[in-house]
Structures are given as C-alpha cells and as structure tokens.
Amino acid sequence: MSTIQSVPSTLPVIPLDSKVLLPSVVTKVIVSGDAASYVSKTLKVARKDRSRQAAYVAVVPVCKSAGDKTLKANLDGAYFNKDGEEEKTIKTNKFTIKSKLVSDKNSSKSGVNLFHFGCAARVIQVEKSDNAKETVTLFLQGVCRFRINELNTSDGVLTANVTHYPETNEMHATEDDKEFGDVLLEFRSLSREFISKMKDLKLPGALLAQLAKVVDKSPPSQLANLLASVIETTFDEKLEMLESTDTRARLQRVNEWMTRQLHVLKITQQIQSNVDGKLDKKRREFYLRQQLNAIKEELGEKGDDASASGGDDDELTELKRKLDAAKLSKEAQTVADREMKRLKKLHPSSAEWSVVRTYLDVMADLPWSETSEDVIDIHRAREQLEADHYGLDTAKKRILEYLSVVKVKGDLKAPIICFVGPPGVGKTSLGKSIASATGRDFHRISLGGVRDEADIRGHRRTYVGAMPGLIIHGMRKSGVNNPVFLLDEIDKIVKTSHYGDPAAAMLEVLDPEQNSTFTDHYLNIPFDLSKVLFIATANSIDTIPAPLLDRMEVISLPGYTFDEKLHIAKTYLLPKQIREHGLTENQVCIADEVLLKIIENYTRESGVRNLERTIASIVRFKCVEWADLHEADSADTYNETVQVDDLENILGMQYFEKEIIQNEAIPGVVTGLAYSGSGNGGILMIEATHMPGEGKLQLTGSLGDVIKESAQIALAWVKSHAHALRLTNSPIENIADKRDVHIHFPAGAVSKDGPSAGIALTTALVSLFSGRCVPNTTAMTGEITLRGRVLPVGGIKEKVLSAHRAGIKKVILPARNRKDVSSDIPDSIKKSIEFVYVKNISEVLEAALVLDERGEKLRTPMVITRIESHL
C-alpha cells in the first residue's frame, strides 16, 4: 500500500466520465484513439520523477453540469472514449471496475466540468495492444482523497496542484468517542448482513469469502470505500463519499445505503418467490424436459440433442443482442419484446419456433437507424457523371441540382426520379453513377414481369414460407436506411393479374408523403423509406398507370446521334472490349470511318448495346487472327488495323441500307416520321394509289384507330380543297367519286398508331392526285385538322435522330415544335438537316411538292395563293 508521503502534490489529471474512484479501490481504464495518446503523455509526465518507485496520477470525476463544486478544464475534445462496460471483481483487498474517459455528451468546445475533489491513484499496470487502432489499458489503485487547488496545462497534459487527505487505519473506536463506536458497531453488523444477502444473488463463492475476510480484517475507512463501490448508489452520492473527509460521516452514509439496499434485496426475493410459485404448465414442462435430458445423459441414452438447450440459449442471447444493437423504433421494439417472450416459451422443435425466430432475425437485420454518410462533392460528382456517360445533359443537370440542394440544406426529401428512354441509352448505369457520386449503397430491383402484389409488400406470416417483399428485402440487404434503389423496368409490371395489382402496391412506396410509414405485410409494422433515393427506369410511360406516374419526376433519355455513338465507341466501348479479350490497344485499331460504317449499316438502334456486341465480334476476330499467326510463328505479319473492306468478311453483309436515298421519288409516296413505344424513333413510309371504283378508302399496314382517323381527315381535306388545288375543274366535283383510294404503310408486322402522320397523309394524297413528287430526302411529321391547321406532336428528338440516321436532308415540323428542336437537337444535326416550320397545310405542300423530273408542268398545277384564300 502506498503512503501519502510518496504521493506528489502536483499530479497529471485523468478525467473519468460519470465514474468515481475511491481510495483502496482498483479501476481498469480502457482508452483508444486520441484518448490513448493523451494517456501516454500523462504517463510520461507521471514518470518524470525517477526517485519515486511508482507513478501517480490524479483521477477526477467529470460532472454533467457546472456548479460551485466544479472546475472548468479545456480538454480540446481529444479524450473521448466509449469502450468498456462496468465490471465488478474483488482482487486481494482492492475493488476493480472498468471505467472510461470523458464522453462527448459531457464535453464541449468550452471544456468539461471537473469535480473539486478527486483520488490520487498509483499506476499498477499498463497494457498496449498491437492492433491498427491504438488501445491502452490502465490499472489504477486509489491511494487517498485530495482537493484541487489549481489546474494547469503543460505539454498538452492537464495537471493539478492538490491537498491530500490521508486515510485512517484505526480498527476500533476509542473509549472517549462512544458515538463513533455505536456507528462502527452498526456498520460492521450491516456489512455482515449485506454480505450474507449477497449469497442469495449467487455471486462466486471465492468473492463472498474474500468479502467476509475484508469485513473482519480491513480498517473501517477502507471497508466503507469498498462497500460504497459495491452498493447501488447514484453518481451524486458517490461524489459525496469522495469529498467527505470525516470517517464517521462516511460510515453513516454507507450505513444508510446498506439499509436501503437490504430493503430492496428483501423485496426482490419476495417477488421472485411469488413468481416461482406460479409456474405455468409450459414452464414446468420445460424444466421437466431439462431434467429428463440430464437423466438420459447420465444413462448414456442422450444423442445429438445433448447440447441443444445450451445452443438454443446461446442463439437467443445472440438474437437479443442483435435486436438491442438494431435500435428499433418504439413500435417495433414493443413487437420484438412480445415475440421474444413468446419464443422463449416455445419448444425449439416446434414449427412455430422457427417462424418466430425467422421473423425476429428479419427485424434485427433491418437498418432501423443505420444511416450512411452522404459524401456530397459537386465537382467530383460532375466529373464522375461526365466520365460515365456521354451526353444526357438533362439527366445530369437534374442530378446535380438534387445533390446541390442536399449539400446546402442537408435534409431534403429524396425525389422519385424516373428515367424514360429506349434500351441501351444508359438508364441503369446512370443510377449506379448517382449512388457512386453520393457514396450511398446501391441496390437494384427488377420489376419486369412482377405480377403478385405480395412480391412488393411481402406475404403475411400465416402462410408457409412467408418472407418480406422486394422493398424490405432490399433494405435488409443494403444495411442502411438511405440507399439508392433502382426500380428497373417499372413499365413492365403486370397489371392484369388475379394475384392483385403490384403497380398499386408501388403507390405507397413511391409517395414521399406516405413512404415514411411503409408497412410490409410480413413485418406488419411501419418502416421508414423516406430517406431512400428511388430511381425508376422505363422504356415508355404509356404502360405506367397514371397515379403511379404522377408520383415520379420523368426525365427523358433519347437515343444517341451518330456523332455521340462514335464518341462512345472510341472512348469507352472499344477500349473495354479490347481489355476484356486480353488484347492491347496496339493489337486492335479501328478507324473512325470503320466505326461510323458499323453504326450506320450494322447497328441501327437508339442505344449502344448492339454496337458494343458488334465491336466485340470484331475484337474476337482479331484475337483469333493473332492467335493463329502466333502459333504459326508468323506474328510479324499480323495487321492490327481493321479496314472498311474487312467488315463484310468479319460481320457479313450489312444489315441496314439507306433505303430512302436509293428509292426513286414517285407521286403518292411520302416519308413520315414515327415514334415507337419503346422510345425509339423511325421513318414511316406512306404509299398511296388510286383505281377505278366507288370512292372507297382502304387502309392497310397494321394501323390503329387514331391513324385511320388521320387518313380520313386528310382525304376529307383534299376533297374539300380539290378545286383550289386545281385537281378538279368544278368546285362541286368529287375527286374521289369514281375511284377508290388505297393507302398502305409498309412493314405491316409492326403496329402503327397516333396522329403525327396527318400532314404526311395529306401530302401523299395531293401528290397522288396532282402527279407531283415529294423528294425522297424530305420527311415530315405533324397532326392536321379539318381546317388545315398543323398541330404539334411529341417525340421530336427521336424522330429527328431517326431521320438523320436515314439520310434525310429536310424535315418539315409544326411551328410549335420549334422549341423542341432548339433545346433537344444537337448542333451537329441542326447543321446537316434543313428544318421547315409550318402552321398550316398550305405551307407543308409548298415546302414538299416539286415539278416532275423533266421540269414540265403537270396537268393540275397547284396554286398556293388560292389555297390560302380558302384557309
């Protein structure tokens, strides 16, 4: 035991958070990180005086609030540690507890509040770990109380000038101090009774025997410190014990605490006795089964079930630990506690036991409060989006807007974004880039072909093999409550099914006002999805139900132009395929004109998937060529360059021709522009002819009702304006009176519908009746009315891109679609195509119809001014 003379009056300070060290007690302090560095500095200061055999430190409690008994000290926020839980053991005549340094909840930038009394402690042992995170374990033995006179800081270490108060070692009271003798007698009597009651708590026998020896052999002052550490007391009561320098007063306080603790122990024993006397049938059965298992084990009849009980207990303990660590919501915690009690009453061999166990496992694995930190760096996000995707400026702009608002505000509700576009334009990969740019976990859910509502919401636990739905399963797999969810192919959800409507189940998921309380049928308790960033992808919005579409912010991703495809192929697709096939860029060289030939004649698509597959075929061909020459020892003759003439040998005959350029312009044939439901644009050939008949209109080519109505409107307009167009000699003459008109749309296997072919149909009929031709490099799109007005249509970018791919030089568009061309069409295409904007059909006819090849006047020349007068 250290004497007070060996303890210096100036000591380095080690603060303890909500813990009090008393003389003769040993405490174990575990620190790591910055706190470990501080402790190392403190020990160096404590060991400076080499004349002393031991190092001493000042252990001072940290109070939660300032008062007249506290001192302000600035610890620079470097002594935080949350490791270690309280652990009580007795070692010789010393009481050992684990402690921790001051935590962040009791500190601030202005410092911490140190109690004005502390305990001088001798450093018994120091242990340092070799792991990556520096950890220091200290064993400190309390020596004596002290009062802080002054606080100083030296070399980053807090030191205190103190006044010591020695401990008294008298075993008995003097004859003159009868009052102290009565207090001491009561103290020893209560101590023995308290230790005897502790036997009922089933503490280790060695510990109880050691306590009994301490009662008879230790001085009252030391015994009071020991019992004050054992008895359940508040932090303020321990502070009173620390600052009390009168032995009699300390004994009186310990007497009061022991009396209170004994009363609590008696009530606890009484309650336990009443509970044990009322065991229900299941618990009695459980205990009898345990006894039966023990008997069978002694008789040697126990098989593989010998350790079942212990294993089940271990599983339940681990499950309880996982549930506590999950930090469930209040409602979820109530359900988990109820199910846990139910699980303990069930036998492990019952079917219900596995159902409840699986349910609790799902609850424990869900990220109720686990959130990943957003790494919002706008410059890095912009660079990553540009590196991963070429073009797609509208989508990139919206993503950067969202990230900027999150960076400024910090708690923005996640939007529901839906990327709509043809296959292969980068919708799915764009979702991955968003997750990478924000540092969030990425999870993809494929909704294509989902036909059961339970796939979204999960099955109720009454069904055999019930499991959570796709949303809760994704949250469980992600491990955080703010991942990026990609709902792929949301337009492919099956809507007509006797299993329910999965699209309707998605309404709650994708509603920012409701998804904070999303309830899965399996869990049957609300789960917060408001922090999840949902990104949906679709090829067309036509098949998405209107209520579901209303909850999403639609961002269109149109197809790529030839120039964009060429850039993507050069910078990404070709180097990727070369790496994947084990070659180097010096072994395969494909020039721009070769790539452009592939794009125009082998892969006519909106995206780049077929382009990548075609490039992969060329790389494989070169790989085989290199391998053959290498085996034949003729590697020097290998030619890494792919020429245009080599494509037919490698890929076969070209799949697509510029049929528009090669066809001859004839009356009645017009090129329209179409937009398919998959997000692709295309050219739409319209052929019209007439024959003797009764004025009937026949339409072929797998047409829908809307496009049929457009043909009827076109014919009606031409009939009513035939005389103004000089197609008839009299205003009352019917141009189709004795002839039938047949309009055909080639590619009959492909369904066609929509109003955008109106002006093309009208132009085809006028061309047919007038004998004038429409140039085969001219295309048009727009809806017409009976009055001849031209109305705007959608899908302008896709239509113009398809026209550019087909070699069209002039495009006639409604005047109100001018803004779409200005905002969506790349400048390179604007330079190669002439755009004509029209308001009525007369402007269309003027821009589209020409003389015949010989330059002769036709029999029914058109007078535009007369048409305009009728309009």
Side-chain-facing half-sphere of 311: CA atoms under 13 Å: 8
The Cα 562–Cα 596 span in angstroms is 7
Catalytic pick from 107, 799, 802, 842?
Answer: 799
Q: How far is CA 459 from CA 18, 335, 344, 465, 561, in A?
A: 48, 18, 25, 9, 46
**799 belongs to the catalytic site:** yes
Count of Cβ atoms closer than 10 Å to residue 663 Cβ: 12
Q: Is 423 annotated as a binding residue?
A: yes
Closest alpha carbon to 190 in 269, 258, 266, 261? 258
Strand, coil or helix: what is 867? Answer: helix
Side-chain-facing half-sphere of 376: CA atoms under 13 Å: 15
Pairing type for strands 526-527 and 518-519 reads antiparallel
Q: Is 755 annotated as a binding residue?
A: no
Closest alpha carbon to 330 in 370, 358, 369, 362? 369
In eight-state DSSP terms, residue 772 is -
Instruction: Write the secondary structure of 654-681 as one string of H (helix), E (strand) and C (coil).
Output: CCCCCHHHHCCCCCCEEEEEEECCCCCE
The Cα 784–Cα 432 span in angstroms is 43
Cβ neighbors of 416 (< 8 A, separation 6 or more) are: 510, 512, 534, 536, 551, 552, 553
Residue type, 548: L
| Segments of 805-858 assigned E as strands | 810-814, 834-838
Catalytic pick from 756, 767, 802, 842?
Answer: 756
Q: Are 431 and 478 in contact (CB under 8 A)?
A: no
Take residue 116 and report the two structure tokens written for it: 């004005």
Q: Is 427 annotated as a binding residue?
A: yes
Q: Are 491 and 539 in contact (CB under 8 A)?
A: yes
Q: How far is CA 163 from CA 58, 146, 158, 307, in A?
A: 11, 5, 17, 59
Closest alpha carbon to 329 in 467, 529, 484? 529
Q: How far is CA 657 from CA 130, 562, 602, 660, 732, in A?
A: 71, 15, 9, 9, 46
State the first-to-last Cα distance of the chain, in angstroms, to the nearest integer. 115
**51 belongs to the catalytic site:** no
- Helices (H), ranges, 725-793: 758-770
Residue type, 261: Q
The Cα 227–Cα 195 span in angstroms is 10
Residue 696 CB-density burial (10 A; 0-12 exposed, 13-18 middle, 19+ buried):
exposed
Residues in the chain: 871
The Cα 466–Cα 459 span in angstroms is 5
The Cα 235–Cα 354 span in angstroms is 44
Give CB contacts under 8 A, 24+ apart, made by 782-785. Answer: 782/756, 782/758, 782/812, 782/813, 782/814, 782/817, 782/838, 782/844, 783/710, 783/755, 783/756, 783/758, 783/759, 783/814, 784/710, 784/713, 784/714, 784/717, 784/758, 784/759, 784/841, 785/713
Q: Is 421 annotated as a binding residue?
A: yes
591 phi/psi in degrees, rounded to 5: -75, 165
The Cα 398–Cα 392 span in angstroms is 10
833 phi/psi in degrees, rounded to 5: -125, 140
Q: Which helix (H) or strand (E) holds 283?
A: helix 281-299
Q: Is 422 annotated as a binding residue?
A: yes
Catalytic residues: 756, 799
| Positions at the binding site | 421-428
| Positions at the binding site for ATP | 421-428
